[in-house]
Structure 1
Amino acid sequence: MTRQERAAWGFVGPVLLITSLVFVLPVLLAMALAVTDYSIYAMAASDNVRFVGAANFTELLRTPLFWRALGNTFLFACLGVPMAIGASLFAALLLNDATVRWKPFWRVALFAPYVTSVVATAIVWRFVLNTRFGLLNYALSWVGVGPVDWLGDPRASIPAILLFVTWKIFGYNMIVFTAALSAVPVELMEAARLDGASRWERFRHVTLPAIGPTLLLAAVMSVAGFLQLFSEPYVMTMGGPAQSTVTVLYFMFDEGFKWWNLGQASAVALILFVLILALTTIQTRIGRRYEWL
């Protein structure tokens, strides 16, 4: 090894070691637990652990609540990802406008929810969405809309959580999009303007291709985030009403730490890992097709 290679390994080695300890090792242990019946009894005596093969996975396929959680999770992802990315990109385009004043203030204000505690902000939003004295219902009453049971009606609980999650996370993508928009060559925009391109045409044919890799990154991160949704429904609705906000991660938490069925919980974690990996691969291939990578 050359001196430069040894120096490179000196910098990369500790990071790889830490990554192995906090990511690779837990993943391997979860894979091992997924094929056992590891439970609270196994914690007392390892002799109680039995190898069950694929029994945990077949049991999940026969569990209606697992399929309900999987459907809810995909519904959150299908609705939430376009909302979060659309709101982020719209805010970034507004802040990229030269006529907007106090840009640093707006960037900090819109980014602040992302770095605040999920539990604390979820509790605040429970008061905002309260049926009797919530600010949202109070605002709706001014336009003649009656009170809505946002967290107690299965038809309103998912939109309420989506509204909260979009408000909570869109600031991160907004900052990323703002940086990407600032890197779009000014010459291209000027050339398109001189050629008579409208604002929409400049956005469609100049801005979007230029920020394509950033858009792909935001999509991958957002999909993975929504598939791992847990804290928001746990704090706001406890999976209700009528299990309408139970997600895969919520179901895994109940199996592992409510019923102490850690083998089956590990199987759920493994399934979720495979789903996220598959969707990330699909998104990456789409990005390569459109030359975003």
Structure 2
Amino acid sequence: MANIVITGSTKGIGFGLARAFLDNGHNVIISGRSEETVSSALDRLHAPTAQCRGLACDTAELSQVEALWEFAEATFGTVDIWINNAGLARTGWSIQDIPQQEIAAMVGTNLLGTINGCRVAAAGMRKQDEGKIFNMLGGGSDGEYFPGMGVYGTTKRGLDYFTDALSRELKDTGILVGKIRPGMVITEAVIREARQNPDRFASSRRFMNNLVDQVETVSAYLAEKILDCNKSGEKIRWLSGGKIAARMLVGLVRKREDQFARHGL
């Protein structure tokens, strides 16, 4: 049984990971920006208090991340796995058109928040002499370009480098550092952007439908791989290049069931 902390886990893939770990008997600390979102997520998880607790945490604030570690340590004694999942995707703008506040929000959460999480978790795990830290990557982390994702992709590309650097710096410790690449998952953010820009969504719907997956499907796979991972620097990837190619080929001859319909899109 592992003790696991997941930042940004009141919704989306983070919430899905929390549910997957809990369903398999592990202990989980969830977090989100506000007490209201944390409380709501705990209610939806329906897990015993002894197995799942939550704390509000803005990962861009170092003191709040430190408080999250202390809370987890006080609750479960040790932290075996720390997952930096908190992230923001504000897409659809060119680099010149994106509002400044959206740039600051993504850089603050995606980069600074993850760096804070890694530093705090690494310090705590050094005292334990072991532990696993995983960073959530995303579109752009491999250097690929997606229209409207210039700033978001830049933050994720930076995280890829940072995670490699941290893995090397901790190679002589008992701390494993890994990457998670979840692929295209239908989260609340995807649904929100589809509704905000229905024309753009309609034009890309058929293509996206071949590649997207549901949160629960991806989360169950990732949770299993995270628990099994025993090599630092490893990237856990759901949507591999081979899987993408296979889906696109199949999509030419057989229409995939609409993945968006269940979300009212």
TM-score computed with the length of structure 2 as normaliser: 0.24
Of Structure 1 and Structure 2, the greater helix share is in: 1
Greater C-alpha Rg: 1
More strand by share: 2
